[in-house]
């Protein structure tokens, strides 16, 4: 069997050096194997050829059979375009090209019969097709095509006539040239267990489906394989770490923990908190390094769980550190925790970017000497100047602001890696968590402290906002506080800032009897903090702000969150903002204000927000609406989302199956040394080379 990854695409009939260059540069295809793994992004029914009389301008992509006449170039320079008429025995339509005007004219001859493929639209009352795909019938292989794959192509590819159809033809040539069956990439036993078809059958049918059921099976096989190897890789690293990297053993629950629990804690832990604390204790006493992700909705009490874990570390004679993404959040953690542990005699300090040099010079030696038991801070904690005597536990709050590389840097602060607890209030859908954090164990706090009333969310049109102010005033009279949030997006910064300032003025006019704060990202940190502080202390009763308050202050007395231009916020952002209220015992409200005109997508987002408070449901929906690439944390996490065929928003079940089977295999053969797993090893190596998956090793 020839090695397809060694067959240069350039020597394929119809390619040559120029096209080969375009293929390599545009879609990273340079070998036979590469092109076989360039899958269609969708399929269309090409079994039908329409008559021109039958079509209108509202149809999806269709096929016609006919001839071209009357090329004409219109316009000059950048507005230059090419038109022609396309006709059959029932009528004619217009064709139009905005690019490659000259080469098109030379390429497609008049008077020859073509199969046209394109999307008809109305223009000035006529039907027209822009940039149609044209094929002569004799080259229109695979006559009764039926379901046909469509391939993504770029502008540069199109100008080299590498349209979707042309790509497909190259693939057909490759497939015709492979006489034997394509070599299998999954072991036999796994193919049987997962009930998937062979790679040979899958690759042929993904490009040229023989039927829709054959296509479905091909998709399943290829998705499974992709997700399986991803999981196998992730889980293998985890297993490896479990075996090789030891962890400090925190055997004791001692004085600090017990005194805190019996004296300082004024409420009962929720069931979920207790369960998670048990999970963490078990991890930290297992002799292995803990790498745990703690997910829980805003206000679910993660900080407390973190503190209890920290106390266990201190009880065992270790130092701990808590890292937050912003200065405000770090400061707030510092204040809350200092209060909580009051009287226990624990040395807690704060280190942020604005810690004075003098203070630093006092602080750092104490940290190094082990005198400081808990150091709370921001990114400043990972600077090289910070070193510990015996760091036993690192807690990272709001994971999505920290990349994998930063986590790795914290590890290196010790000879022995400290236990790591990552907390996130952005619930991550299961499928994504498995893929992103396959190497982390996950704990979930899925229960709010008792007495919390779920926030009520309402949608109000901007024009109807008058009524709103009466209700807001009622809340203010009862002593509550109010947030009003405006969008501030970098691209339209000036406008947004203007809106915010206007909003600030309007608010002051509407509520002259109350003091109003304003905070935005363009303010100096000192001013911003001072203003936040005024609101936290209750001096100001209304906070007009941009999303800077998203991860930030905890004001249990705030009961109303008004979000202006709610259509401009993403789902998880809205959910995060809403989490700023509902932290006290009172009924809280979240008001989403929009204009009347809303896109389908926005309507959906608003509906979800008013229907549910469940962060996981929201995260799932967000993933569906936006796709995984846009979800917070995926970009910073350093993981390329270059899945070829699997779709994390839709293929949760395939992913679960892949994970289950990968786990089973690793349980039985952790190092993949058994002969039947030789292929798995080989394939992983190959994928690692190809996909540059080096990040697996550092997380
Ligand atoms: P998170 O970090 O998950 O957003 P926090 O830890 O900040 O949540 O907790 C939110 C508020 O709820 C805090 O004021 C905290 O003291 C309080 N809280 C936490 N756990 C409980 C509990 N079991 N019972 C009552 N109040 C709790
Ligand atoms: Mg928190």
Task: Please report the pLDDT score of residue 138 as a whole number.
Answer: 60
Q: Counting atoms of ligand 1 from 1, which one is nearest the CA of 302?
A: 3
Ligand 1 centroid vs 208 CA: distance in angstroms?
A: 56
Residue 694 has pLDDT above 70, yes or no: no
Percentage of the residues of the chain whose pLDDT score is greater than 90: 49
**Region of residue 367 (left: phi > 0; alpha: psi -120 to 50; beta: else):** alpha
Task: Please report the pLDDT score of residue 633 as a whole number.
Answer: 42
3-class secondary structure for 562-625? EECCHHHCCHHHHHHHHCCCCCCCCCCEEEEEECCCCCHHHHHHHHHHHHCCCHHHHHHHHHHH
Task: Please report the pLDDT score of residue 696 as a whole number.
Answer: 36
Residues 417-427 have pLDDT tens digits of 889 898 887 66
Residues 138-177 have pLDDT tens digits of 655 444 457 888 898 888 998 888 988 899 999 999 998 8
- The C-alpha atoms of residue 439 and residue 593 are separated, in whole angstroms, by 40
Q: How long a stretch of residues is the chain?
A: 699
Ligand 1 centroid vs 449 CA: distance in angstroms?
A: 7
**Bigger pLDDT: 104 or 634?**
104
Does 424 contact ligand 1 (Cβ within 6 A)?
no
Task: Please report the pLDDT score of residue 411 as a whole number.
Answer: 63
Q: Counting atoms of ligand 1 from 1, which one is nearest the CA of 273?
A: 23
| pLDDT category of residue 459 using cuts at 50, 70 and 90 | very high
Both tokens of residue 246?
């030891």
- Tell me if 56 sits within 8 A of 127, measured CB to CB: yes
Of 142-156, 293-307, 507-521, the one with minimum mean pLDDT is 142-156
Q: Dihedral angle at the C-alpha atoms of 258, 264, 270, 276, nearest 10 degrees?
A: -50
Task: Please report the pLDDT score of residue 244 as a whole number.
Answer: 65
Going by C-alpha positions, the residue among 162, 214, 178, 142 that lies closest to residue 38 is 162
Does 298 contact ligand 1 (Cβ within 6 A)?
yes
Rounded to 5 degrees, φ, ψ at 314 are -65, -40
- Tell me if 180 sits within 8 A of 1, measured CB to CB: yes
Task: Please report the pLDDT score of residue 99 as a whole number.
Answer: 82
CB atoms within 10 A of CB 367: 23
Task: Spell out the residues 6+ positions from residue 55 whose beta carbon is closer than 8 angstroms to its own.
Answer: 62, 64, 93, 120, 127
Task: Please report the pLDDT score of residue 689 as a whole number.
Answer: 76
- The C-alpha atoms of residue 616 and residue 34 are separated, in whole angstroms, by 37
CB atoms within 10 A of CB 626: 16
Residue 496 has pLDDT above 90, yes or no: no
Does 301 contact ligand 1 (Cβ within 6 A)?
yes
Cα-atom radius of gyration of the chain, to the nearest Å?
31
Ligand 2 centroid vs 304 CA: distance in angstroms?
A: 9
- Tell me if 426 sits within 8 A of 573, measured CB to CB: no
pTM (two decimals): 0.63
**How many DSSP H helices and E strands does the chain contain?**
23, 22
| pLDDT category of residue 327 using cuts at 50, 70 and 90 | confident
Residue 695 has pLDDT above 50, yes or no: no
Does 583 contact ligand 1 (Cβ within 6 A)?
yes
Task: Please report the pLDDT score of residue 352 as a whole number.
Answer: 92
Task: Please report the pLDDT score of residue 609 as a whole number.
Answer: 95
Task: Please report the pLDDT score of residue 698 as a whole number.
Answer: 31
Does 427 contact ligand 1 (Cβ within 6 A)?
no
- The C-alpha atoms of residue 165 and residue 163 are separated, in whole angstroms, by 5
Task: Spell out the residues 6+ positions from residue 652 whose beta carbon is closer than 8 angstroms to its own.
Answer: 430, 431
Handedness of CA 234, 235, 236, 238 (dihedral sign): positive
Of 15-19, 127-131, 429-433, the one with minimum mean pLDDT is 429-433
- The C-alpha atoms of residue 568 and residue 577 are separated, in whole angstroms, by 13
Ligand nearest to the CA of 446: 1
Ligand 2 centroid vs 302 CA: distance in angstroms?
A: 6
Both tokens of residue 38?
């360039």
- The C-alpha atoms of residue 28 and residue 20 are separated, in whole angstroms, by 10
Residue 224 has pLDDT above 60, yes or no: yes
3-state helix, strand, coil in the chain (%, to 5): 45, 20, 35
Does 305 contact ligand 1 (Cβ within 6 A)?
no
Going by C-alpha positions, the residue among 589, 532, 526 that lies closest to residue 555 is 532
Residue 81 has pLDDT above 60, yes or no: yes
Provide mean pLDDT across the span 264-283. Answer: 94
């Amino acid at each position: 069997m020839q090695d397809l990854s060694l067959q240069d695409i350039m020597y394929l009939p119809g390619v040559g050096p120029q096209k080969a260059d375009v293929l390599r540069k545009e879609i990273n295809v340079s070998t036979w194997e590469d092109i076989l793994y360039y899958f269609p992004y969708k399929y269309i029914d090409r079994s039908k050829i329409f008559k021109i009389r039958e079509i209108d301008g509202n149809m999806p992509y269709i096929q016609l059979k006919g001839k071209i006449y009357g090329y004409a170039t219109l316009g000059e320079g950048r507005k230059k375009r090419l038109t022609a008429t396309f006709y059959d025995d029932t009528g004619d339509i217009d064709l139009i090209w905005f690019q490659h005007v000259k080469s098109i004219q030379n390429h497609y001859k008049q008077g020859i019969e073509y199969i046209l493929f394109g999307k008809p639209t109305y223009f000035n009352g006529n039907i027209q097709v822009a940039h149609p795909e044209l094929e002569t019938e004799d080259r229109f292989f695979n006559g009764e095509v039926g379901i046909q794959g469509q391939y993504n192509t770029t502008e540069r590819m199109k100008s080299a006539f590498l349209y979707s159809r042309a790509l497909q033809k190259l693939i057909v040539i490759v497939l015709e040239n492979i006489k034997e069956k394509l070599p299998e990439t999954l072991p036999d036993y796994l193919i049987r267990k997962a009930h998937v078809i062979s790679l040979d059958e899958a690759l042929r049918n993904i490009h040229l489906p023989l039927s829709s059921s054959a296509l479905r099976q091909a998709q399943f096989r290829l998705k499974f394989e992709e997700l399986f190897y991803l999981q196998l890789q992730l889980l293998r690293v985890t297993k490896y770490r479990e075996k090789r990297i030891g962890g400090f053993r925190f055997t004791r629950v001692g004085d600090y923990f017990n005194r805190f629990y019996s004296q300082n804690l004024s409420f009962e832990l929720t069931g979920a908190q207790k369960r998670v604390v048990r999970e963490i204790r078990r991890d930290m006493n297992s002799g292995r390094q803990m790498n745990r992700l703690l997910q829980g909705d805003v206000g679910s009490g993660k900080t407390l769980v973190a503190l209890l874990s920290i106390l266990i570390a201190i009880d065992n004679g270790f130092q701990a550190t808590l890292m937050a993404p912003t200065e405000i959040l770090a400061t707030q953690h510092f204040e809350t925790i200092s209060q909580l542990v009051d009287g226990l005699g624990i040395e807690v300090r704060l280190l942020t970017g604005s810690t004075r040099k003098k203070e630093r010079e006092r602080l750092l030696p104490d940290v190094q000497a082990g005198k400081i038991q808990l150091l709370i801070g921001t990114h400043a904690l990972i600077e090289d100047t910070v070193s510990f005597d015996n760091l036993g536990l690192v807690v990272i709050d709001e994971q999505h602001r920290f990349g994998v590389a930063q986590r790795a840097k914290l590890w290196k602060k010790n000879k022995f890696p400290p236990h790591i607890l990552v907390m996130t209030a952005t619930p991550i859908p299961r499928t994504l968590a498995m893929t992103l954090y396959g190497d982390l164990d996950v704990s979930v706090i899925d229960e709010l402290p008792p007495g919390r009333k779920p926030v009520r969310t309402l949608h109000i049109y901007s024009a109807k906002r008058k009524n709103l102010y009466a209700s807001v005033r009622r809340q203010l009279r009862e002593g509550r506080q109010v947030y009003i949030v405006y969008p501030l997006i970098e691209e339209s910064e000036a406008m947004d800032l203007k809106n915010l300032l206007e909003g600030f003025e309007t608010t002051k006019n509407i509520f002259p009897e109350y003091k109003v704060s304003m905070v935005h990202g363009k303010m100096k940190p000192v001013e911003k903090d001072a203003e936040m502080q005024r609101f936290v202390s209750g001096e100001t009763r209304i906070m007009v702000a941009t999303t800077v308050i998203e991860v930030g202050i905890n004001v249990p007395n705030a009961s109303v969150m008004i979000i202006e231009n709610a259509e401009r916020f993403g789902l998880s952002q809205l959910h995060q903002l809403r989490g700023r209220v509902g932290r006290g015992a009172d009924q809280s409200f979240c008001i989403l204000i929009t204009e009347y005109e809303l896109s389908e997508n926005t309507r959906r987002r608003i509906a979800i927000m008013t229907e549910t408070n469940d962060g996981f449901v929201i995260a799932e929906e967000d993933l569906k609406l936006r796709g995984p690439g846009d979800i917070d944390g995926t970009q910073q996490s350093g993981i390329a989302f270059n899945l070829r065929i699997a779709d994390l928003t839709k293929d949760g079940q395939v992913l679960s199956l892949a994970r289950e089977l990968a786990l089973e295999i690793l349980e039985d053969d952790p190092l993949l040394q058994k002969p039947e797993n030789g292929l798995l090893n080989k394939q992983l190596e190959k994928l690692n080379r190809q996909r540059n998956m080096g990040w697996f090793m550092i997380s």
